[in-house]
A and B are shown apart, each in its own frame.
Chain A
Amino acid sequence: MTVIADPGADPTAPDVKARGRVLASPVTGQELVLLGVIAVLWVLLGFFTPAFLTAGSLQPLLVEVAPVALIGIGMTMVIITGGIDISVGGAIMVCAVTVAQTLVTYEMSIWVALLISVAIGAGLGLVNGFLIAYGRVPAIIITFGTANLFQWLGLQIFGSNTVNGIPSTLDVVGRGVNGRTLGIPHSFFITVVLVAIAWWYLRHTVGGRHLYAIGGDPVAARLAGVRVRRRTLLVYLVTGALVGIGALFYLAKGTSTLDQSIGSGRELAVIAAVVIGGTSIMGGRGSVLGTLLGALLVQTVTSGVTQLGWPSQLSDLFVGLAIIVAVGTDLLRQRARTSATRSQR
């Protein structure tokens, strides 16, 4: 989806035709393809393993999708602006272990836990955003560095190897019966709502369009009046805040123990979901709806492999292939589009 960066334009300006072309369809090609693939997979898996299309199988699937897609909202915005955030795994650890330790010591409501977690996540995001926006350093380098820093911080708060005796305060967003309404896990429901808000923000507000403009060409965006640094800082801040919520989902997994493996490798899972969802790693293009579908696809493959009785690690092979196919089709489409514009001239 090529978005014409035109931040100065009044959204109600009469140039409806150009706007109409960009926003005509609520979903893009990549999203339709993903929907199709997921549908085919669900039908096939339902056919070969009758247990797949039951609530007992789909509910855990949605529980696993929720944090990846949720953090993926922030990651999508970050990647749209041409950046990347490798540090979310470490940040998840810091948020989760802080909340876990506080829950073990003090009795508190889920709202307080949420507040703590989001505040910490946002703080860590602010560190990233500040260094990247004002230090003028490539995001990948800074977040490689802060990934180490956050991991150190998390391990410091852990103290020993595990945190035991975490009360069931967070069950409302967890796995069990308490975490569901009408059969849908609350965590997934929250994620869908936030995806919808982010989708609207990116497509229908000036601020959202600015993110595409920054990813397309930061210098042009700055000259056009976009406050590039402030927006850059903001997307990392938002990602951190979302990590704060996502960490609670990971924490509420129904056991009272938390170990140090929490968060490890999650950054790559989130990035995989984002790129399978059609967001261009070069910046300037992407959608949060695609990210949600990407996360769904990855988890469908993972659950499918397990339920077919194959070795569970084999799912990583399919995830890798899915990334190559998704990005490959996108490259082909881009090439077709470039040659089409050329022949028009």
Chain B
Amino acid sequence: MTTTESPTTPPTKPPVTRAEQRSASIGSGLLRAVLTQRVVLLVVLLVAVIGVNMLLSANGYLTADYDFDYMASALIDAVPLVMLALAELIVIISGRGGIDLSIGAIVSLSGMVFGFAYQQWGWPFWAGLLLSAVTGTVLGLINGFLVAKLGFPALIATLATWYAYKSLAVVINDQKPISGKAIQGLFSSVDNKNLWLIGDWIPNIPLGVFTYMLPVVVGVWILLARGTYGRRLYGIGTNDTAATFAGIDVAGTRLRAYALSGLIAGVVAVYMVAEFSSARPDTGTSGSGLALPAITIAVLGGVAISGGIGRVAGVVLAALLVTWLNLGIQLSFPGNEGIQYQLLALGVLLVFAALLNGVATRRYGGST
């Protein structure tokens, strides 16, 4: 995404360039906004997706009503996506090829640890949550140590730890999931249920959105857009050397980015245990894993893979877009076929967004 303003300040009037003078009309201004402001593009796409699906629904083409209640209840799947995509946002912003392939494996391993603590050892919930978060943070610190202190390329370091964590998660309880009364009781803490406000006055938003997703979204936003840590992070992601000369502890800042990513994964682990009512050793690694969708959503949300560029709002919008698009596909093609078309949609969206970045760069210049 080519924005001239610093990512940490709200958009101010960009400096007038020659290209801008040439394209002063409203139409080209809008085109420019769609091409260069990822948030604008995502809002346009979101409106289109919701509009088309509601139109299809009203004319009876879908197997169920695509209404606000249904859209809200689908958010139960969006919670882990948003949180993990934010984790990827943080590490990708940190630059030097930053990426975290191990994040799904961290979810698996921390979830197993939580399962042990909460179900087998009978710890209170908050202690289990804390242990899971600490586990995730430690696993993230290992990634950060390899990448920031030893200089491993992030792709390779996290590929290696993906293998290692995944293996530990499976071996730790002899390839068996952990389940029981205590864990099964957790489902009510994330599910949608009628409270005095939800379900009566506003659509049926699952509880997990408020208990897990919103705190993380707000926390990450404050950290990135309102704190000094965020400034340092965007700084090292944009230019390592310049940041060093500016007196920033580059290695320490980057190390913390990976630890944060692990921390978020540790919290997601508890959410997933609650959602599935069991701690499964392959929660984050089965199929193509959780890392791939998280990275996809981060990139769709406008994060530049080269580092230094990316916003929380873009990532959240991208996750909503994917969730509600998937919901529409599910209602159009039920069952297995629907899941297949979701793959297609995700792939097309990602390639489309990436190509659009290229077009925007060539047309309006910039440093993507």
The one of B157, B163, B299, B351 that contacts A272, using a Cβ cutoff of 8 Å: B163
Q: B157 — which chain A residues lie within 8 A by C-beta?
A: 324, 327
Q: A117 — which chain B residues lie within 8 A by C-beta?
A: none
Binary A-proximity of B43-59 (CB < 8 A = 1, otherwise 0): 00000000000000000
Verify B358–A135 contact, CB threshold 8 A: yes
Q: In this assembly, does A151 line the interface, its C-beta being within 8 Å of a C-beta of chain B? A: yes
Verify A131–B351 contact, CB threshold 8 A: yes
Closest to A325 in B: B160
Q: In this assembly, does B25 line the interface, its C-beta being within 8 Å of a C-beta of chain A? A: no
Q: How many A-B pairs fall under 8 Å by CB?
A: 137
Verify B355–A324 contact, CB threshold 8 A: no
Closest to A272 in B: B159
The one of B151, B296, B305, B343 that contacts A152, using a Cβ cutoff of 8 Å: B343
Q: In this assembly, does A30 line the interface, its C-beta being within 8 Å of a C-beta of chain B? A: no
**Bound CA span A146–B351, Å:** 7
Q: A22 — which chain B residues lie within 8 A by C-beta?
A: none
Q: B151 — which chain A residues lie within 8 A by C-beta?
A: 331
Q: In this assembly, does B21 line the interface, its C-beta being within 8 Å of a C-beta of chain A? A: no
**Bound CA span A323–B155, Å:** 11
Binary A-proximity of B149-172 (CB < 8 A = 1, otherwise 0): 011110111011111111110110
Closest-CB distance, B158 to chain A (whole angstroms): 10
Verify A321–B164 contact, CB threshold 8 A: yes
- Total interface residues on A, CB under 8 Å, equals 42
Closest-CB distance, A301 to chain B (whole angstroms): 11
Please report which residues of chain B, range 332-368, place their CB below 8 angstroms from some CB of chain A when the two chains form the complex. 336, 340-341, 343-344, 346-351, 354-355, 357-358, 361-362
Verify B347–A146 contact, CB threshold 8 A: yes
Closest to B339 in A: A155
Verify B171–A311 contact, CB threshold 8 A: yes
Q: In this assembly, does A16 line the interface, its C-beta being within 8 Å of a C-beta of chain B? A: no
Q: B247 — which chain A residues lie within 8 A by C-beta?
A: none
**Bound CA span A136–B152, Å:** 26
- Stretch from B32-40, B194-202, B287-295 contacting the other chain: B287-295
State whether A149 and B343 are in contact (beta carbons under 8 Å apart), knowing that A135-B358, A313-B170 are contacts in the complex: yes
Given A156-B340, A321-B164, 5 more pairs with CB closer than 8 A:
A145-B350, A145-B354, A146-B351, A155-B340, A313-B167
10 A-B residue pairs with CB within 8 Å: A131-B355, A138-B354, A141-B354, A145-B351, A152-B340, A155-B343, A156-B340, A281-B155, A323-B163, A324-B157
Listed in ascending order, the chain A residues whose CB lies under 8 Å from chain B are 84, 89, 131, 135-138, 140-142, 144-149, 151-152, 155-156, 264-265, 268, 271-272, 275, 281-282, 311, 313-317, 319-321, 323-324, 327-328, 331
